[in-house]
């Protein structure tokens, strides 16, 4: 009797521990999943067919379905192994002028999937190479047509190209996502991307907004320049950086802000659609992230990039400001000479401007009465006066003496040319320093963008996996360190630059391992029970899988 009581107390204690463990493992995810509901013990598990549940949980072991088991994801690949795959891919892509790209991508995906282990079983990639080749050439054709249309500088063609791109992006993304998901297997179980084209295009509405915004920006700038452009003989309108006025840059800035918000929105929509419309058996993915979560992550990465870029540009400008005066002789001793040269250059400009105005008046009265020979002689006289001034001692290095001779000089050499060449040879060392500063300033910029990209990737990876699950039978837990991942990406970037790109395969393996192994899968009932359940559920889904296979092409993923 005492033994029976002891066994009863042990069973009760084990049951209590199991219930507590279950609640602890699932409360964090499903409390956010259902913030306004209370999960009660008597509620049935949703999204779990009774027939499949009964087959997967025989009599006598039903309580085992409540046990939550954790499986840490593992990656068994190495950089040396992948280097051989990468090197052969690069060699064949070079020899075939890029035609080998689909085969190279398949070999790469097969390598990473084959070494990505969940519950002692690797993933499988079962894609057909033929569809990857078709998708590759379809993408190349669409991209070439888009480039030709945008380079035509025709507002109508540009608008049509933007519209075509907006229509094509959802199709390309949906086709590639369906192909990649349906080609993935685990223990013989295949995934299924069960969404419709209507749902994909509805989630892609920010793409159309981006296309509309930039068409309006392009058309607005083009119309402003068309209606405000002066005649050919008048002074050109004042411009700022890259030939755009202040109003033009305001339009561009507004377009960038709207495009940034829409881009983040479409990334969120696609991420949510990928998870929530991915099925394994009849179990559906669950994603509890919000658009605000994505905005905060992308905003942080954007601020890092913008502030870092501004810092690098400011530092490079200060260094160049120190080099330019010594290079061209613009120091305190010649400031007065520079001002005098600028004033004299104004005199030459005024004289030429008067000739242009006189020529304009003659053209307006009678084009046949224009005396082009007199115009050439007068312009040549102004040029000779400039050259005479440059022959004076100490004047050859002044800015107005560095300008090239006009067409009216009939190819006559500038007397200051010999002195200019000699000074340029003497300043060769300074030129080298100047060029080195300009080139090296790009490396910090690339480094800043790498930091911003690594930050965004780590934060988004951790957010997505911590808020994702499979129905109510599995959830994920990611512990990826943002700082550690950023530092890893910086190391990989520096080593890739130092080795001229040959460290890239090792870097890719290190980054993939850091992301993959930081995730743990919590499965209700364990992996074996999940496999048995999903195998039964998948028997009736062969037709849907065949349709998904037919519809998917690997195009942009």
Per-residue pLDDT tens over the stretch 197-222:
999 999 999 999 998 998 888 888 87
Q: Domains in the chain: how many in total? A: 2
Instruction: Give the residue carrying structure tokens 């109510």.
Output: 472
Q: Which residue has the higher pLDDT, 38 or 256?
A: 256
Q: Is 289 helix (H, G, I), strand (E, B) or coil?
A: coil
Encoded tokens for 280:
């394994």
Q: For residues 504 and 82, is the Cβ–Cβ distance under 8 A?
A: no
pLDDT of 266: 95
DSSP secondary structure letters along 367-411: GGG--HHHHHHHHHHHHHHHHHHHTSTT-TTSGGGSSPP-GGGTT
Cβ contacts of residue 429 below 8 Å, gap of 6+? none
Pair 188, 244 in one domain = yes
pLDDT of 410: 42
Position 541 confidence tier, pLDDT thresholds 50, 70, 90: very low
- Closest to 101 measured CA to CA, from 138, 144, 132: 132
Q: pTM (2 decimals)?
A: 0.69
**Sign of the CA dihedral with 337 first, then 340, 346, and 349 last:** negative
Pair 257, 139 in one domain = yes
Say whether pLDDT at 25 is over 50: no
Q: Which residues sit opposite 122 in a β-bridge?
A: 117
Say whether pLDDT at 556 is over 50: no
DSSP letter at 413 equals P
The CA radius of gyration of the chain, in Å to the nearest whole number, is: 34
Task: For residue 366, tell me if it sits in a domain.
Answer: yes
pLDDT of 240: 54
Average pLDDT over residues 31-40: 42
Pair 182, 257 in one domain = yes
Task: For residue 260, tell me if it sits in a domain.
Answer: yes
Domain enclosing residue 395, as ranges: 321-436
**Sign of the CA dihedral with 273 first, then 478, 81, and 187 last:** negative
3-state helix, strand, coil in the chain (%, to 5): 70, 10, 20
pLDDT of 52: 44
Residue 186 burial (10 A CB sphere; 0-12, 13-18, 19+): buried
Say whether pLDDT at 417 is over 70: no
Say whether pLDDT at 193 is over 60: yes
Report the range of poorest mean pLDDT among 44-58, 62-76, 496-510: 44-58
Average pLDDT over residues 8-24: 50
Average pLDDT over residues 168-188: 87
Pair 341, 266 in one domain = no
Percent of the chain with pLDDT strictly greater than 70: 62
- Closest to 376 measured CA to CA, from 355, 394, 397, 360: 355
pLDDT of 424: 46
Pair 325, 281 in one domain = no
Pair 245, 357 in one domain = no
Pair 148, 242 in one domain = yes
Encoded tokens for 525:
């009932």
Q: How distant, in Å, are the alpha carbons of 200, 266, 302, 329, 464 from that of 261?
A: 19, 9, 12, 48, 19
Cα separation, 192 vs 399, whole angstroms: 70
Task: For residue 172, tell me if it sits in a domain.
Answer: yes
Q: Which residue has the higher pLDDT, 45 or 478?
A: 478
pLDDT of 547: 40
Pair 135, 270 in one domain = yes
Q: How distant, in Å, are the alpha carbons of 39, 467, 471, 523 from that of 33?
A: 11, 9, 11, 17
Pair 406, 539 in one domain = no
Position 347 confidence tier, pLDDT thresholds 50, 70, 90: low
Position 531 confidence tier, pLDDT thresholds 50, 70, 90: confident
């Amino acid at each position: 009797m005492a033994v029976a009581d002891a066994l009863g107390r042990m069973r009760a204690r084990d049951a209590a521990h199991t219930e507590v463990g279950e609640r602890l493992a699932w409360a964090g995810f499903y409390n956010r999943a259902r913030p306004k509901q209370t999960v009660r013990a008597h509620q049935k598990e949703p999204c779990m067919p009774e027939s499949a549940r009964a087959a997967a949980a025989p009599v006598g072991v039903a309580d085992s379905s409540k046990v939550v088991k954790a499986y840490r994801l593992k990656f068994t690949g190495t950089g040396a192994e992948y280097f051989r795959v990468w090197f052969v891919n690069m060699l064949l892509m070079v020899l075939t002028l890029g035609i080998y790209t689909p085969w190279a991508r398949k070999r790469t995906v097969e390598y990473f999937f084959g070494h990505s282990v969940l519950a002692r079983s690797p993933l499988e990639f079962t894609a057909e190479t033929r569809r990857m080749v078709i998708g590759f050439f379809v993408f190349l054709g669409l991209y070439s047509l888009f480039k030709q249309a945008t380079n035509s500088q025709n507002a109508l063609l540009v608008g049509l190209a933007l519209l075509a791109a907006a229509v094509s992006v959802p199709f390309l993304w949906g086709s590639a996502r369906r192909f990649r998901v349906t080609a993935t297997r685990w223990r013989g179980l295949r995934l299924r991307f069960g969404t419709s084209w209507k749902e994909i295009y509805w989630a892609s509405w920010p793409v159309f907004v981006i296309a509309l915004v930039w068409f309006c920006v392009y058309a607005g700038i083009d119309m402003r320049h068309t209606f405000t452009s002066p005649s050919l003989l008048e002074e050109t309108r004042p411009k700022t950086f890259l030939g755009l006025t202040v109003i033009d840059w305001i339009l561009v800035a507004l377009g960038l802000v709207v495009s940034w918000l829409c881009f983040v929105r479409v990334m969120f929509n696609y991420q949510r659609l990928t998870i929530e419309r991915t099925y394994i058996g009849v179990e559906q993915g669950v994603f509890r992230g919000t658009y605000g979560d994505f905005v905060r992550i992308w905003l942080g990465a954007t601020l890092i990039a913008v502030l870092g870029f501004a810092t690098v540009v400011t530092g490079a400008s200060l260094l160049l400001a120190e080099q330019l005066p010594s290079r061209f002789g613009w120091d305190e001793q010649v400031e007065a000479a520079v001002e005098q040269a600028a004033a004299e250059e104004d005199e030459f400009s005024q004289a030429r401007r008067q000739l242009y105005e006189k020529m304009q008046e003659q053209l307006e009265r009678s084009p046949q009465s224009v005396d082009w020979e007199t115009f050439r002689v007068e312009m040549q006289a102004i040029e000779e006066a400039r050259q005479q001034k440059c022959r004076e001692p100490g004047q050859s290095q002044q800015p107005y003496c560095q300008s090239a001779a006009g067409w009216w000089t009939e190819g006559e050499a500038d007397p200051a040319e010999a002195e200019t060449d000699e000074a340029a040879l003497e300043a060769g060392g300074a030129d080298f320093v100047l060029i080195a500063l300009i080139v090296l300033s790009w490396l910090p910029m690339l480094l800043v963008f790498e930091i911003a990209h690594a930050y965004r990737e780590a934060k988004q990876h951790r957010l997505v996996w911590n808020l994702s699950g499979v129905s109510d039978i599995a959830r994920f837990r990611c512990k990826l360190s943002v700082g550690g991942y950023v530092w890893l990406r910086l190391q990989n970037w520096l080593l890739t630059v130092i080795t001229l790109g040959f460290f890239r395969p090792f870097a890719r393996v290190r980054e993939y391992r850091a992301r993959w192994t930081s995730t743990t899968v919590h499965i209700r009932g364990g992996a074996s029970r999940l496999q048995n359940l999903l195998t039964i559920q998948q028997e009736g889904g062969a037709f849907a899988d065949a349709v998904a296979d037919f519809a998917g092409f690997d195009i942009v993923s």
